[in-house]
Amino acid sequence: MSGERLKLPAAKTLQRLAAAADQMHSYETFDALRASLSSSHRGIEGLVRVGGADRDLAVKLLVGHLLGDIVRHAARLHEHLLEAPLLLPRGSAASVELDRRAVLSLLCGVFVGAVERISRGEYPRVTLSRWLQSDQPHVLAKLRCLLHYFDRAIGAPHGGTLRIERRVLDPIPTASFWADHSAPLARLVVHERGLIEEALGCTQADFANRFIGGGVLGGGCVQEEIRFSVSTELLVSLLLCEAMDDHEAICLYGSEQFSRTSGYGSSLRFEGDLQDPCARAADGSPLTEVVAIDAIHFRGRAPARDQLAEAIMLRETNKAFAGFERTGSDTPIASGNWGCGVFGGNLQVKAIVQWLAASAAGRELRYYTFSDRRLGDLAGFTNAARQRCKTVGELWRAALAAGATGVGDDVYQSVLACMPGGAYR
């Protein structure tokens, strides 16, 4: 670990914020406070323009003093953080644990611009300028989630901690590691309905960008960005985590989901409050685990044969294994069509990759299909494969053989054809 810490605002900055918070509470009408806002808060005005429930929040934000409370919590940052948290650079396995009140103050600081990172090497850019200047409905939906989190967390402070861990495979598994792996193939359960974040008691996969959070603070609204919007505390990881290397994953323990949304991409909309039913520790920490793993971006639809090449399979299986492997844990893993949207991954190949990694980690895989027919008969494939081969190594060798000999439209058939007993019908 480098020992480098997050740069926090100076004491004078926090004093100015405290004074500003007191002034905000002096406004008695919506129009008076809105008129006082700079153009950097155009996004808040956008909440008013879109109407409906968003206007209700805008009124609460301004007249109901939520904005002043946000500024006040940002000003109290040093009360909840005795020292700045350590950064988590790539290449070093380490973790940081934060009181959830400190997480709230940090995110309030990001909201008011006191805590941000404009550009710094391989760390994510952290600023809400895009959200606060946009009137696009899908961007406003993410801002709405953040403000709803502030309303909930400030109104009823939550106990417990959030832990952020960078996992690094050391040594990095080689192709022979996988070819010779003797672990039995794990149970794989296919879920045609439901969402990964609804899989209580499971390690939940985040289909990540190598920069944690992806485009969440910009215009992005796919799986990772939506998850970081509804489970808002996850956003604090952007301040601490450098981009991931190929043999790394980032795990986040203790986040809570606060909001419901509908839609995907440009159709994303905020749908209201969610009371997370997850179990909790004695101190109030949610017993949740989200694991961020970034897939290869093929930048086009790479043929399945190319995605079954040894170098590609090695990178992807190692990446999934970095996220799934945890000594002493047999918690099921909830995942799905990882890297199969804009990243161009083949759904059937990625299902095999994740089954290999989960099996090597000794953990059941619960696969959420999102009703995507391109996935094919995954349950039928896993049943047939377990009748023909018993170990991770055997499945690995069959997958590579299928890539080398030619893959048809059905990857499962091609892989099974390379096992004893041939393909199934």
Active site residue ranges: 206, 224-225
Between CA 224 and CA 159 the distance in angstroms is 25
CA 145 to chain centre: 15
66 close to 219: Cβ distance less than 8 angstroms: no
Between CA 80 and CA 76 the distance in angstroms is 7
Distances (CA, A) of 84 to 87, 183, 285, 344: 9, 42, 21, 39
Cite the DSSP H helix spans in 245-336.
304-307, 310-324
Helix or strand run (H / E) with residue 350: helix 347-360
* Among 208, 196, 204, residue whose Cα is nearest residue 237: 208
Distances (CA, A) of 364 to 124, 179, 315, 327: 32, 20, 21, 14
Report, in this order, helix, strand and coil percent for the chain, each rounded to 5: 45, 15, 40
Asked whether the CA dihedral 192, 195, 196, 200 is positive or negative, the reply is negative
CA 175 to chain centre: 28
162 close to 252: Cβ distance less than 8 angstroms: yes
CA 229 to chain centre: 9
Distances (CA, A) of 323 to 28, 41, 318, 424: 50, 38, 9, 31
Reported as half-sphere exposure (CB side, CA atoms, 13 A), residue 21 has a value of 20
